Amino acid sequence: MAQPPAFIAFTGIDNPALLAGLQRLSARYPIEWGILVDEKQTDMPLFPHPDARKAFLTAGGLRLAAHVCGAEAKKIADAETVSIDLTGFQRVQVNHSFSGSTPEQSENTWRFGRRLGIRTMLQCKDVFPDEARLDWLFDISFGTGLTPRNWPVLPKSGPFCGYSGGINPRTAADVVAMIGASVDDLYWIDMESGVRTDGRLDLDKCEAVCKAVYG
C-alpha cells in the first residue's frame, strides 16, 4: 500500500476572503498553505500585499510557509540583510531567483532559518541532496504545471523531501501511488497551478486533491 504524504502543500494563497474555507479544509486534512513573498510583485496575483499576509498569519488554524522570491531570495542565499518580516511562518522556502544553489548558498539559507528558529527549504531539479539541515522540494515545474518524467527516490535517511510538478485533482492519486509505493519515510507533495481556476486558488480543487490522497 502506498504511503500517503505527511501533508499537502497548496502554494499561492492570496485572497483573505477565502480564510474560512482555508480553515475548514485545514481542520479536516494535513495541509500547509504557501504564501509567495516578493515585495516588488504585491500588485500581482499570487503575491499578497503585506496586509493580506498578516490576515493569514493572524487568522489561526493555518499551517503557513513563506515562499520567498525575487531579490530577497538571493539576499538570503548570499547572506545579505533582508527587510521582510517572516514572523509566524512555520517554514520558509527560498525560491531560486538566482542561478542554481552553491554549497555556500545552501549554508547561508540554513543559517538564515536558524537565526529565525524556522525550518528552511530549497528546490532541486534531480536527485535530492544529502544536506539534512534543509528541506528539499523536487521541482522542475516552477509553477507551470510541468509533469516530470521520473520522480527521484527519497534518501533512505537524511533530509525531509517534497515533490512538485503537474499535480492536480486528476493526477494526485496516481502521483502518490508512484511515490509512496517505494518509500517508508515522510514526504510531502506541493502544487500551485493545478489547484487554480482562471489564475485564482480554487478551494474545490484543493478539497478534491485531499480526498484523492487521503479519502
CATH number assigned to the domain comprising residue 160: 3.20.20.70
DSSP per-residue codes, 4-25:
PPSEEEEE----GGGHHHHHHH
**From the DSSP assignment, how many helices (H) and strands (E) are in the chain?**
6, 10
Q: Considering the domain boundaries, does residue 1 fall inside one?
A: no
Distance CA 78, CA 70 (A): 13
Q: What was the pLDDT predicted at 44?
A: 83
Q: Is residue 158 part of a domain?
A: yes
Give, for all 215 residues of the chain, the pLDDT tens digit.
Answer: 678 999 999 999 999 999 999 999 999 999 999 999 998 888 888 899 999 999 999 999 999 999 999 999 999 999 999 988 999 999 999 987 555 578 899 999 999 999 999 999 999 888 898 889 999 999 876 655 667 778 888 877 789 999 998 899 999 999 999 887 666 789 999 999 999 999 999 999 999 999 999 98
pLDDT of residue 122: 94
**Residue 12 is assigned to a structural domain of this protein:** yes
Is 2 among the domain residues? no
Length reported for the chain: 215
Amino acid, single-letter form, for residue 153: V
Residue with cell 492570496: 14
**What pLDDT, on the 0 to 100 scale, is given for residue 1?**
60
Q: What residue numbers bound the domain in which 164 lies?
A: 7-214
Q: How far is CA 49 from CA 77, 90, 107, 117, in A?
A: 23, 19, 29, 24
Count of beta carbons in the 10 Å neighbourhood of residue 83: 8
In a domain, 96, yes or no: yes
pTM for this entry: 0.93
Q: How far is CA 3 from CA 13, 89, 146, 173, in A?
A: 27, 27, 23, 11
- On whether the CB atoms of residues 93 and 119 are closer than 8 A, the answer is no
SS3 percent helix, strand, coil of the chain, rounded to 5, is 35, 20, 45
Residue 142: predicted pLDDT = 60
Which pLDDT does position 100 carry in this prediction?
A: 57
Residue type, 167: I
> How many domains, in total, are found in the chain?
1
Q: What pLDDT does residue 157 have?
A: 73
What stretch of H or E contains 139?
A: none
Name residue 141's amino acid: S
- Residue 188: CA atoms inside 13 Å, Cβ hemisphere, count? 21
